[in-house]
Chains A and B, each alone.
Chain A
Amino acid sequence: MKKFLFLTIYTLLTISAFNQKYTISGYIKDKKSGEEIIGANIFVKNLNTGTTTNAYGFYSLSLPKGKYSIVFSFLGYKEEEVNIDLSSNQNLNISLESTAIITTEVVVTGEKKQNIESSKMSVIKLPVETIKALPAFMGEVDIMKTIQLLPGIQAAGEGNSGFYVRGGGPDQNLIILDEATIYNAAHLFGFFSVFNADAIKDMEIYKGGMPAEYGGRISSVLDISMKNGNMKNYEFEGGIGTIATRLTVQGPIKKDTASFLVSARRTYLDLLINPFISDSSRFKGSGYHFYDLNLKLNYRFSDKNRLFLSAYYGEDVFSFKSKEAGFDMNIPWGNGMLSLRWNHLYSSRFFSNTTLVASDYKFRTNVKMADENDQNGGFQFIQNSGIRDYYLKQDFTFIPNPKHTIKFGGSYIFHIFTPNSVSAKFNDIVYDLNTKAKQYAHETAIYIGDDFKINKKITLYGGIRAATFNQIGPFTRYVKDEFLLTNIDTIVYGKSESVAFYWSLEPRASMKISLDQNSSIKASFMQNKQFIHLASLSASTLPTDLWVPCSDVVKPQMGRQYAVGYFRNFFKDHYETSVEAYYKKLFNLIEYADGALPGDDVADNADNYFIFGDGYSYGLEFFLKKRTGRFTGWIGYTWSKTERTFPDVDNGEPFPAKYDRRHDLSLTSSYQINEKWSTSMVFVYATGNTTTLPIGRYMIDGEIINEYGRRNSYRMDPYHRLDISVTYINKKTDRWESSWNFSVYNVYNRKNPFFIYFYRSGTVTDGTYINYAKQVSLFPILPAITWNFKF
């Protein structure tokens, strides 16, 4: 592999050395804040070619000696055109000025056709401004909610923190914030995401055709970038809303050299509803809140060296206290991450980024039961689970000439899994269930990929990623009998001893063929493996779900996806459309065995209770977007089918996945009425979720036993909902901006199903027994007001 890498680089270097070319490179920034712009366009008019800035706002173009007219642009910014006479390597940093909110229907020049021109497909990029323009749930702008409005990406419904991409499970999405993995991106079971929109700059999601630099998950990548902080001036931004307050402060530490950003958010839902809970309610004494903290520091040593430090910490806390019962429960869960990145330019065509990350997710339950008579502390119960990663990553981008962009690099992750550790104390007696055993694993990867513009019509991307995963000791394997009842053997692995080793070779390819200036067709293929699984006991994704590594029992998940698409822009690129079709095969998926319960893994291995199977999904996605003007928005529609086959479920017959959804429609729109007023709306419709319900009953030992129908064979009512919002800007000057946002969630008060349960009364033996089905819905119509400010 090393030899291959070396040869490739060497060949490419030599090729470029023979063509006498000069490089123009630099950063594109926002004029006002000095914030780098991701994905800005650089277009060489004379050659009808161009490039875009990378995740750090950096671009590089190598051109033959000559005179050029270069246009720098980004949606929402005024174009800059620069004439250069290229006879040596040049460094050209550009600052773009953002346009007023109301843009006249600007002429969109040819270079803004990333969707058509790029070889990438199944990728959608959303600047945070687009997200902020849409109605916010209870006033809180939410990135995760917005991406679920895109075709191919499904919300799992209220009360469910995961999202599903093209039939893949919620654990198959890689969510990264400034390169750090976020293992649980949801607050309050998915009603809010952990990403505070005020601290976020940009996000990009890959539903397929993942480039080789991404790995470790088989369905999608959601790459989120935090703002770097204003390099020029201090800026305060925030909001006071119905349920939460936010504040972000950013500014220069040293003008144009170093900046910081600090952002905080906390909900106060508990404080608001507590007075309304009656003293006799079982919920008296319960509380819930979440908070987020974001921090970013960046220091520019020179144009060649730059350092970024990003940090995030957030927690959900549920508590329940009852003085009379002497009961005190506290359940916190959340993520933390710290990422340090160093950008270095070896040359104007050779960009490097080195990343060091620590990332952590944990779920904890603390219960204390003690009354006044308990002198020794009473009963205490502590449960812990989670995952922690230490991560080192090195990425290089080499742009020998405008035809090639070569990315290569490698990464190493040390994973620490805490499966389910339980300890209990009763007065002075400590119950040690020997569950403190963590699991450890090394994950490594190397990759190389080249985006090759063969000619004006055809662009080809080819990449390959090689990865290894090694679970190591200390580890105890409890070998069970066929009924999972008795330990028939125990295998103890010593420190650093290999428990299981897996490797994977992952080809990625995509191709674009331009049909004309306004349309292209694309195709992509990817195959990848995933070495960690999220074991979900329930039909919902809950914060208690466990991350488990591949082991001697659990094999890596594997995904293989094919996609083709047609992309076309209309009316001078004001409208963007696409149709994509995909087919995806999934292997070695896990589920818990029938009737597995939380706690089965105590003094045992969680994976002893897993069953394994495969799956597939295919679908068609339609997307129509109006990009510019007073009226913007999109319509996304997906038709899809997703099934799973597990030998241990329904005798190996295929069954619909939990989130199999034939129809999924999202409609969003924003309209700028005038300088003061703007409105927006979101409408969603989705086929109902599947669930498993009992179809029969019988009695054993006086108890009614349910006989279940086939897995996920019942479909709940469809989900649909309309949200609207109105924003009024009551003041806007260069220095001070304040606005009111009024939003209504679920305008027509649709009672969307959350789950169905059965209620019974009477007894069978005397013939008075009756079953009722009840459907529980979560959110009715919910209005919210938020006051936002910026100065």
Chain B
Amino acid sequence: MKRLLNFSTLTLIISFLILIGGCEKDISVDLPRADEKITVEAFIEPDSFAVVFITKNASYFDPVDTIAVANSIIKGNQALVIVDDGNNIDTLIPAIFPRWPYHGYKGTKIKGQENGIYNLKVFWNNHEYFATTSIPKIIPIDSIKFDKFSFNDSLGFFNIFWKDPIEIGNYYSVTVRNHKRHQWFYRPFFGIHILDDKIDNNSTMFYGPISQGYERNAYYNDFMDNLENIEFVDILAYRIGDTISIKLSTMDKMSFQFWSSWYRNLITAGNPFANPASVKSNIQGDPANGYWIGYGSYISKIHIVSKDSIEVLP
């Protein structure tokens, strides 16, 4: 709360200054080219095979068109991706997924297990990348509450509750999937989807309000270009008849650090009054961006039956 507020007040003051006398103009900025790097988005969850997406970075002002976008995705036999758990080796196979960049790699042999340790190796274009992660203990969601809006009781947000373990240093993420709309888990639209137990250690923790999740690219299409015509709350809230899965995932410290720095990058990007933040990657070997994360995921699936009743599905 404080964090966002402080920034917005400053931004407001600065904007006010610009309003009273300032002006802005388009300029051309001559930036050096970025070194070519790959971005790895890879994770493994209990009872599931590893999923790996690989894309390429671009220089800041490189043109973006359909060809450039297609070329930025590493797919098929362009890369060799291997996961091992110390005993077995799983060579991932190319696969299609219902989210950007749609092409990725999927395991077929090793399913994630609580407390398992997993190594990832990626070979691409004579480069070699590797990373290690583990799946922490799963922590179940204790209860779910549907918060109806006072002005429209057929719409609302969710809150979830769980018990944080006695030892400090637990890291969580919350993602959601509305079965009517999505085939994938996304971050809720509001708030930061990760949290730790720095303040609430060993107590009942809660996360909320959980709004609809969003594929961020779709978000730009749906919202930014249409701000005039949409009912914001209508699109972000859940309604009677929706079936939703809420996923509470635990992760290790490195993974939390990755997401924290990722948020810092997003929040500070373009803000001239903040120190630019680099995203910390746990991918080692040749220079790369991204992550290899083991999530201890617990999923609650629910159906909003009526205003006053939600049903927990198996």
Chain A residues with a Cβ under 8 A of chain B: 159, 188-189, 269, 273, 277, 282-283, 286, 288, 318, 320, 329, 331, 365, 367, 381, 383, 422, 424, 481, 483, 485-487, 537-540, 542, 544, 591-600, 602-603, 691-703, 705-709, 713-714, 751, 754-759, 762-780, 782
Contact = CB atoms under 8 A, between A and B. Distances in A.
A697 B55 CA distance: 11
Contacts of A486: 168-169, 196, 198, 253
11 contacts: A286-B16, A288-B16, A538-B273, A539-B272, A598-B2, A697-B34, A700-B289, A708-B276, A763-B217, A773-B28, A777-B22
A483 B257 contact: yes
Contacts of A692: 276
Contacts of A602: 2
Majority secondary structure, B binding face: mixed
Nearest to B34: A696
Contacts of A288: 13, 16
Contact of B269 (A706, A766, A777): A706
Interface of B: 1-3, 5-7, 9-10, 12-29, 31-35, 37, 39, 41, 55-61, 64-69, 99-101, 168-169, 171, 187, 196, 198-199, 215-217, 219-221, 253-254, 256-257, 260-262, 264-279, 289-291
Nearest to B175: A701
A766 B68 CA distance: 10
A694 B289 CA distance: 15
B31 A714 contact: yes
B72 to A, nearest CB: 8
Given A487-B168, A538-B274, A694 B37 contact: no
Contacts of B198: 485-487, 603
Given A695-B33, A707-B34, A778-B21, 8 more contacts: A538-B274, A594-B264, A595-B274, A697-B60, A698-B58, A709-B32, A765-B101, A772-B26
B29 A700 contact: no
Contact of A596 (B14, B275, B290): B275
Contacts of B33: 695-696
Contact of A778 (B17, B59, B262, B264): B17
Contacts of B9: 329, 331, 365, 367
B282 to A, nearest CB: 11
A782 B277 CA distance: 37
Contacts of B262: 700-701, 703, 705
A424 B1 CA distance: 10
B6 A696 contact: no
Given A772-B26, A775-B25, A598 B7 contact: yes
B68 to A, nearest CB: 7
A700 B38 CA distance: 11
A280 to B, nearest CB: 13
Given A286-B16, A698-B37, A767 B64 contact: yes
Contacts of A769: 64
Contacts of A159: 14, 17
A291 to B, nearest CB: 17
Contacts of B272: 538-540, 691, 755-757, 776
Contact of A765 (B69, B271, B273): B69
A286 B12 contact: yes
A383 B22 contact: no
Contacts of A771: 60-61
A700 to B, nearest CB: 6
Nearest to A544: B10
Contacts of B39: 698-700
Nearest to B3: A599
A277 B290 CA distance: 45
A706 B276 contact: yes
A594 B31 contact: no
A713 B221 CA distance: 34
Contact of A777 (B10, B23, B267, B290): B23
Contacts of A483: 253-254, 257
B187 A701 contact: yes
B273 A539 contact: yes
A764 B187 CA distance: 19
Contact of A540 (B1, B57, B273, B289): B273
Contact of B265 (A320, A537, A595, A764): A595
A695 B59 contact: yes
Nearest to A759: B270
A486 B267 CA distance: 21
B64 A594 contact: no
Contacts of B31: 693-695, 709, 714
A752 to B, nearest CB: 10
Nearest to B288: A698
Contacts of A764: 64, 69, 217
From A594, A709, A751, A779, residue with most partner B Cβ within 10 Å? A594
A594 B22 contact: no
B291 to A, nearest CB: 8
A650 to B, nearest CB: 11
A283 B221 contact: no
Nearest to A779: B21
A695 B3 CA distance: 27
A702 B216 contact: yes
